[in-house]
Amino acid sequence: MIYQQKKIHLKSTLSFWRNFENEERVFFYNPLEQELVIGAKRVKNFKAGESHLQFPYIFSTRTFLPTVKDQKWAGMGNESIAFEYYLVEKNGRQTLYYYQDWFGIQDIRDEEPVSRRHVYEILTDDYEEWRVLFNNVKQEILSGKVKKVVISREVKIECESFVSIESLLKNLLKKNPNCFVFAYCKEGKTFLGATPEVLVRKEKEQITSYALAGTIARSEQLADENQKSLLLSDPKNRHEHQVVLDYIVNVMKTFNGEVTIGETNILTLKNLHHLQTYIKAKAGDNSSLMDWVARLHPTPALGGYPVRDALEIIARFEKHERGLYAAPMGMINEYGDGIFVAGIRSALITGNMVYAYTGCGIVEKSTCEEEYRESNNKLKSILESL
């Protein structure tokens, strides 16, 4: 490896993040590995297929749709990047990787970030817009053109002061222990969130994806166990889930005959329960993690089914651009292994403005108000971090 390594012991890993205040940075916490990677200061961009074996981690993103016109998303995504400095924390151990010297990091001010409570106002009042979007999409489903379309909202939130990304990260980590907490910061903009959704993971020959679709809100009146059995036996949610599961299984079977499907379980988050099933296959054909991202994105969990028609419907009826929302973003290690998640429960932040994104899968039996409520429940991850 062309990087030097050094053990360090910071009280707060966010001190490392703060140290590179004016640089491009990424923060990526993987709860499956209990591993945090923070990268700072771009050192190299990778072209498709270019080897990155010398680099400890590559951070890679693709926007939800290939092109983005909205200025607020300009420059965000569709890149694979190596950073000059990395801090990796795993099993309580911290390792620093640096490309040439560690001049930029010898005097890190090691302090816990202060938790800030942001005073904010939600500027978006979009139920009417949602109703029109929902009805248009429902029409397409009833006409038989598509089975499922995932629609979304962009919610504008204005804070009284500049948003403290450190404080948001600290809160996201604390409140969403089984989610991937991420932030990507470039040229004054930060895309961050806490997503439960894995698009694809590669460990040597093993490829794993997860169908995650079908949701109910956690309730104070009903015990989790009762709610879980309700969700597991609810026909509308099972159907929504099955569409995603069948799609992923079919894609995997196209490239490899041997596919293992796990049992459908419940993933419980702070405010929601989701139906979740893992699907495993062997990479087999010398395919890379990026090949699998291209093969699987967007699954019907975030686009719809059939995928192409659903994407056309989204592009036609959604008023905002998704940018990196619901899009693949991931970390690839020096052996080509790693994970890509879908950037949901997320927001784009500039200065004191927060553009939060939230959506739900619509099927024949979905109702407008209920789905709107569900999207509000999903929005809580971002609101609670403020």
Ligand X SMILES: C=C(O[C@@H]1C=C(C(=O)O)C=C[C@H]1O)C(=O)O
Which residue among 84, 89, 140, 148 is the active-site one? 148
**Min dist. Cβ of residue 195 to ligand X (A):** 8
**Min dist. Cβ of residue 115 to ligand X (A):** 24
Q: Which of 197, 243, 340, 382 binds ligand X (CB under 6 A)?
A: 197
Question: Which among 38-46, 103-111, 131-139, 206-214 is the span making contact with ligand X, rule CB under 6 A?
Answer: 206-214
Burial class (CB in 10 A: 0-12, 13-18, 19+), 220: exposed
* 314 contributes a contact to ligand X by CB under 6 A: no
**Min dist. Cβ of residue 292 to ligand X (A):** 18
Q: Number of helices (H) and strands (E) in the chain: give both, helices first.
A: 8, 20
* 360 contributes a contact to ligand X by CB under 6 A: yes
207-246: contacts with ligand X (CB under 6 A): 212-215, 240
Q: Which of 19, 184, 345, 385 binds ligand X (CB under 6 A)?
A: 345
* 361 contributes a contact to ligand X by CB under 6 A: yes
**Min dist. Cβ of residue 46 to ligand X (A):** 28
Question: Which among 23-31, 39-47, 224-232, 358-366 is the span making contact with ligand X, rule CB under 6 A?
Answer: 358-366
**Min dist. Cβ of residue 280 to ligand X (A):** 19
* 190 contributes a contact to ligand X by CB under 6 A: no
Dump strand ranges (E) for the chain: 4-8, 25-30, 35-45, 57-61, 79-90, 93-98, 120-122, 148-159, 180-186, 189-195, 198-203, 206-217, 259-261, 265-268, 272-282, 304-305, 328-333, 338-342, 346-350, 353-362
Which residue among 166, 197, 371, 374 is the active-site one? 197
**Min dist. Cβ of residue 374 to ligand X (A):** 7
Of 176, 258, 268, 171, the residue nearest 224 (C-alpha): 268
Contact (Cβ atoms closer than 8 angstroms) between residue 126 and residue 153: yes
| Region label for 75, one of left (φ > 0), alpha (ψ between -120 and 50) or beta (otherwise) | left
**Min dist. Cβ of residue 240 to ligand X (A):** 6
* 189 contributes a contact to ligand X by CB under 6 A: no
121-150: contacts with ligand X (CB under 6 A): 150
The secondary element (H helix, E strand) that includes residue 316 is helix 307-317
* 248 contributes a contact to ligand X by CB under 6 A: no
61-100: contacts with ligand X (CB under 6 A): none
Build a one-symbol-per-residue string for 291-310: x at contacts with ligand X by CB under 6 A, - elsewhere. ----------xx--------
Contact (Cβ atoms closer than 8 angstroms) between residue 289 and residue 337: yes
How far apart, in whole angstroms, are the C-alpha atoms of residue 262 and residue 50?
34
Q: Coil, helix or strand for 8?
A: strand
67 Cβ neighbours under 8 A, 6+ residues apart: none
* 359 contributes a contact to ligand X by CB under 6 A: yes
Burial class (CB in 10 A: 0-12, 13-18, 19+), 255: middle
* 179 contributes a contact to ligand X by CB under 6 A: no
Residue 153 or 170 with smaller CB distance to ligand X: 153
Residue 37 or 302 with smaller CB distance to ligand X: 302
| Residue 339, phi then psi, degrees to nearest 5 | -145, 145
Burial class (CB in 10 A: 0-12, 13-18, 19+), 62: buried
DSSP per-residue string spanning 58-71: EEEE--SSS----G
Question: 197 catalytic, yes or no?
Answer: yes
Residue 6 or 365 with smaller CB distance to ligand X: 365
Question: Which among 46-54, 55-63, 164-172, 355-363 is the span making contact with ligand X, rule CB under 6 A?
Answer: 355-363
9-38: contacts with ligand X (CB under 6 A): none
Of 181, 194, 237, the residue nearest 382 (C-alpha): 194
Question: 202 catalytic, yes or no?
Answer: no
Cite the active site residues. 148, 197
Q: Which residues here bind ligand X, judged by CB under 6 A? A: 150, 152, 197, 212-215, 240, 274, 301-302, 326, 344-345, 358-361, 378
